Every structure is written in structure tokens, then in C-alpha cells.
Amino acid sequence: MKLDTLWKQDLPGYRGQAQAPAGKVDVAVVGGGFCGLSAALALARRGANVAVLEACDDVAAQASGRNGGHVNNGLAVDYAGLAARVGTVQARAWYQTYDAAVDTVESVIRQEAIECDFVRHGKLKLATRAAHYDALSRSCEQLLRDGVDPDIEMLDAARVRAEVDSDAFHGGLLYKKSAQMHMGRFALGLAQAAQRHGARIYLNTPLQRLERIGSGHAHRLHTPSGVVQADQVLLATGISRHGSYGSLGWIRRRIVPIGSFIVATEPLGRARAQALLAGRRTYVTTGNLHYYFRLSPDDRLIFGGRARFAVSSPQSDAKSGAILRQGLMQVFPQLADVAIDYCWGGLVDMTQDRLPHAGERDGVYYAMGYSGHGTQMSVHMGQIMSRVLAGDADANPWRGRDWPAIPGHVGPPWFLPAVGLYFKLKDMLS
């Protein structure tokens, strides 16, 4: 079992710029994940002089390239609960932003001819308990009644069993707009497209300090290899792992990095894979500590979940892989003879309300906190923030939102084990 992501296997790394970052640019983008690369592409298409500063040695080296390969619509929170809190109009708009985000991913792939196995087979949210099925059914009814998403459908246990070879589920809610893709190929193609349109991408270039120039948006960005002066700055990174960036240390108190872990089996063969998951959709189970899975184009089962409330590291990934193997056996006991080829982990930047946050503070623009639904939303918000930087503030669907600090969160997330126990207890009692 390799402690590495499947998405980087047999794929060349992106090289980036050979020279050190220096001089003046129109926009400096901090972060070379999907959001930063998407923004750089959109800005460069408009003729802007763009520099992307990425701390790691490859693009999409963190959450963007270390996930399960899902491109799903639907909110990370319950629609009915959100509508009760913020109103039907706002909840509908945010839900449909995720629909638009999946469309944005597909549009970028087609416009830039990125070969990344993108397909729309839908997402099936699987009820692990009868009560969960009832809750999904109520949610489906409200989404249809409010005119939010006509492309959803409840599947009873028999219909789910016909396409998911497991006795673990009581039915499910089908979201027909959802998609999936190869994350590594998409990241490489996105970076190459941004570069082709004129953006410069600097790897191994962590931001050490932001220095504001005057009272506007201009800043100097200090890195170990050079200083860049930018008329505008976009933070498009999971900032919870990095430094305080001067006046933006407040963001660290508003995002909690939570580990998410994934295993990929050996190839099952087409017949066995098809018998296991006939719909070849993306699948996610209900519950706070849920699983998510799909098939790869070469017929591996890619199976992930919150195996442990810990950050990713080789030791942590190995422990999580063993836990995920147990979960996989509970769902698909017929795969007991199948080897695990890959195991990896990544960080999900979770916000308290599990919704993204994007805007401007102290002259710096930001978009982050995708809370486990970042593949499509990060790409979408990269495109959106390029419009915001051009003066279209109303383009931002998350504008004007309060973002209170998480109580007790002032550094490393010491409380994660307690959070894990809390969610386990909730799932046991639900």
C-alpha cells in the first residue's frame, strides 16, 4: 500500500516558473490549488499580469489534489435547516450556486480541452438508517416544492440495492447534476491553461509577509526568493495551515483544518466493478462521520471518510487507512480478498457554518473555507473572484456574510478528538 494519492500516479508534476518572483504585477494570487489556478486563468484571459505563489512543490498539492474526485452539487448543510435560518430566497440562491459551480468546472474543461475523465453520472446520498431516509425524503420534497432543484429523485431501498451491491442502505436521494473527474489531470491541465494565457506560477514560494502600501489594495508580498508588488492580492489557500499573514491572522481563528482520508483498491476488473456500483456515480452516506466512494476509470474503488479527527501525515494516513479498510468491509464485505493499493489524507478547511466565505478585508481579497465541497466551488469562486477584482462586487454569492471566530480556536485545533467523539455519539443516538 502506497501512502500517496492516486491522482499523482503516472502524471508529470507541473514545473512552474524557473526564475524567482520579483517586480510588479496587476494581481498576486496566493495558493496554487483549484481556486487560485482558476482565478489566475480567468484574470489572465482578461489581460491581467498575474503571479501565483504556491508554497508546495506542485500545484494542487493540498486539498485540491488530495480528495476523492467528486464534483457534486448540493449543499454541505441541510437545505431545510438553512432555509429556516436565512430564508428560502437566500437558501435557494446558495444551493443553485453549487449547481452553477459544477457547470463552471465543465465549462473550463471544455474551453481549455483538459483531459481529466470528467463525467456527469450524478450523486447518490445513501441513507444508513431508516430515519435518515425519512429526513432525505423531507428534504427532497422541500427542494422540489421550493423550485430549487428539479433534477433530484428519491430512490427506495430496492432501487438503491439494484445499483449498489450492499445491504447497508435504506434508500437514497439522487442528485442528477453531480459529476466526477481525475483531480491530478484536471490540476495539471488548469495550471497549463493559466500559463498558456500568460499567468506565471511560482512553486516552492510560500508567502512570508504581506506589506500593505497605503490604504488601498496594493501590497508587497515577501517570499524566501523574492518580493512581488501587486496592485491587488487574492488569498486562495487553506490559510489555516500557514502563517498569520500579518493582519489576516483573524482567518486562522475562523477555519478548522480537519483530516479526510481515502483508500483506493487494486483494479477490480470491469465486470466486478460494474456489479459493485452499476451506476458509477459518486456516493456519500448520511451521518456526521460519513463515507464517500466512487469507481475510477480503471475500476478501482476509491473509498474515503473522516476515519480519524487528526491531520494528515504518513503515520496518520496509515492508521486511517486501516480504519477505512474496516469501514469498507462493513459496506462491501464481498471485497475481503481485494488489496488496498493507495492510502492518502488531506485537510478539509471547515468553517463553523460549513459554507464558503469570500470577500475583502484590509485591502486583501479572499475566497476559502469550502468545508469538504471545494472541488467545484473553488473552481467557481476563482472565476467569480476575477470579476470581483475587476469591480463587480455583486458577482460574489457569499458577499456581506458575518464570519465570527470559532470560540477557543486560536492555534492548532487541540479540540478535534473531542469533536470526533461528539459526532460519533450523535451518529450512535440518531
- Residue 108, classified by CB atoms within 10 Å of its CB into exposed (0-12), middle (13-18) or buried (19+), is buried
Per-residue confidence (pLDDT) for residue 250, from 0 to 100? 80
- Say yes or no to pLDDT of 380 above 90: yes
Which range among 177-186, 298-307, 408-417 shows the weakest confidence by mean pLDDT?
408-417
Higher local confidence (pLDDT), 242 or 20: 20
Among 10-24, 300-314, 371-385, the range of highest mean pLDDT: 371-385
Per-residue confidence (pLDDT) for residue 133, from 0 to 100? 96
Mean pLDDT of the chain: 91
Instruction: Tell me the pLDDT tens digit for each residue of 321-333.
Output: 899 999 999 999 9
- Say yes or no to pLDDT of 224 above 80: yes
Instruction: Tell me the pLDDT tens digit for each residue of 241-270.
Output: 555 455 567 888 888 888 789 999 999 999
- Say yes or no to pLDDT of 421 above 70: no
> Domain extents for the chain?
6-418
Mean pLDDT along residues 277-296: 93
Which superfamily is assigned to 6-418 in CATH? Answer: FAD/NAD(P)-binding domain (3.50.50.60)
Mean pLDDT along residues 114-138: 97
Mean pLDDT along residues 149-153: 97
- Say yes or no to pLDDT of 348 above 90: no
Per-residue confidence (pLDDT) for residue 259, from 0 to 100? 79
Instruction: Tell me the pLDDT tens digit for each residue of 49-68.
Output: 999 999 999 999 988 999 99
Instruction: Tell me the pLDDT tens digit for each residue of 117-127.
Output: 999 999 999 99
Per-residue confidence (pLDDT) for residue 311, from 0 to 100? 64
184/86 Cα distance (integer angstroms)? 37
Q: Which pLDDT band holds residue 422 (cuts at 50, 70, 90)?
A: very low
Per-residue confidence (pLDDT) for residue 350, from 0 to 100? 86
CB 381 within 8 A of CB 367: yes
Q: Which pLDDT band holds residue 407 (cuts at 50, 70, 90)?
A: confident
